Amino acid sequence: MDIALRPMSTSQVLDRTFSLYRQNFLLFAGIAALPPALLLLGQLGFVGVGTLSVLSGRAGLQIAAIVAAVLTGMALLALWIFGYALCTGASVYAVTRVHLGHKTSIAEAYKLMFPYAGTVLGIVVLAFLVLTGAVVAVAAVIGLPFLAIGFALKGQHLAGALLPAIGIFLFVPAVLCAVFYVSARLSLAVPSAVVERLGVTESLRRSWALAQGSVLRLILVNILAAFISFALSAVLSVPYFIGIALAITKKSPAAMVPFIIWQYIGDFLARSIAFPIATIAVSLIYYDERVRKEAFDLQLMMEAMSQPQPPSLQGEATPGASSPIG
């Protein structure tokens, strides 16, 4: 194996992330294109149906178009969630292969991850529920005392005006901290499922344990990916704002249609390009944590030399079954 796994600092993780992405841009961007492509198809379909129904001027056709759009949107949302789970697993698999010195392709990544899409989907859904529970818990901890104080001070106008402002001032940062923290602790679940073939709950527990000590850098890489996606979307949205100006000038809403289509295409490009950054970085942090805590590099070296593992590493470096890295 050409690449020796070793502990990496946050700057080294980011450097390695952009290096892998630059060397395998088509691979990672191609894998990441699936969910935004599904969303793009739905958006273009809505634009087409909406435009035809408006141009027809028939109320019945417009109502039918709205109902069809709602039903299609629900179906596309379910398909997008499944595609997101499959894309995430395939991306982690691709990172695993190229980071450890192997080769893969878009088709191979999706083909090998398709049977495990249900597990990744379960991780995504359960992690969302855990995150929602954390937000509700924070809201209860902060909100209930303020409700009690507000009830006790009922009738005092100054207190009634200040309490909501103070509550919001405390609530928003607390919720953001809870979301960032819980998301970071659960972000290594998909790599755990892909590499170690763990189940849904086992992957989440594994992530919670491995992410300890790397919460800040996991938050950092996710914020960085979100910022890059936002910046790309902002740049690609320039024609859309030009279209708004033209539509207002010409007083013709129909003139906006080409610019709306471009806006959807721009969002597709931004998501496809930015998504792999977080996935690659999170996968590298997963390996870094295993190297630091479980001597994963020594395990791979011993496997490469076809030597048995020492008792101290057996059952510790690889808690799951077979992995797809070979």
CA distances to 173, 177, 180, 216, 325 from 184, rounded to whole Å, are 16, 11, 6, 8, 24
Instruction: Name the range with the highest mean pLDDT among 66-70, 99-103, 130-134, 167-171.
Output: 130-134
Q: Per the domain annotation, does 315 fall within a domain? A: no
Structure tokens at 127: 């992690």
What is the CB neighbour count within 10 angstroms for residue 13? 22
Q: Per the domain annotation, does 20 fall within a domain? A: yes
Rounded to the nearest 10 degrees, the angle between the axes of helix 34-56 and helix 59-99 is 170
* Listed residue (223, 237, 226) closest to 274, CA to CA: 226
* Listed residue (79, 3, 16) closest to 42, CA to CA: 79
* Structural domain count of the chain: 1
Q: Per the domain annotation, does 116 fall within a domain? A: yes
- Residue 58's pLDDT is 59
Cα gap 116→93, rounded to integer Å: 11
Q: Per the domain annotation, does 195 fall within a domain? A: yes
Lowest mean pLDDT among 175-184, 238-247, 305-314: 305-314
More confident residue, 167 or 228: 228
State the sign of the Cα–Cα–Cα–Cα dihedral 65, 66, 69, 74. negative
Does residue 29 register a pLDDT over 60?
yes
Structural domain boundaries, residue 194: 15-304
Does residue 308 register a pLDDT over 50?
no
Q: Per the domain annotation, does 317 fall within a domain? A: no
User: What's the start-to-end Cα distance of the chain, in Å?
Assistant: 11
Kindly tell me the burial class for residue 269, based on how many C-beta atoms sit within 10 Å of its own C-beta (0-12, 13-18, 19 or more): middle
Cα gap 270→265, rounded to integer Å: 9
Q: Per the domain annotation, does 324 fall within a domain? A: no
Structure tokens at 97: 């292969």
Does residue 1 register a pLDDT over 50?
no
Question: In the chain, what percentage of residues exceed pLDDT 90?
Answer: 22
HSE, side-chain direction, 13 A CA sphere, residue 44:
14
Cα gap 114→82, rounded to integer Å: 10
- Residue 319's pLDDT is 40
Does residue 211 register a pLDDT over 60?
yes
- Residue 280's pLDDT is 92
Q: Per the domain annotation, does 33 fall within a domain? A: yes
pTM check: above 0.85 = no
Lowest mean pLDDT among 73-87, 102-116, 209-223: 73-87
- Residue 188's pLDDT is 93
Structure tokens at 146: 């303020």
Mean of the per-residue pLDDT values of the chain = 78
Q: Per the domain annotation, does 26 fall within a domain? A: yes
Predicted confidence band of residue 318 (pLDDT cuts 50, 70, 90): very low
* Residue at token pair 């019945």: 60
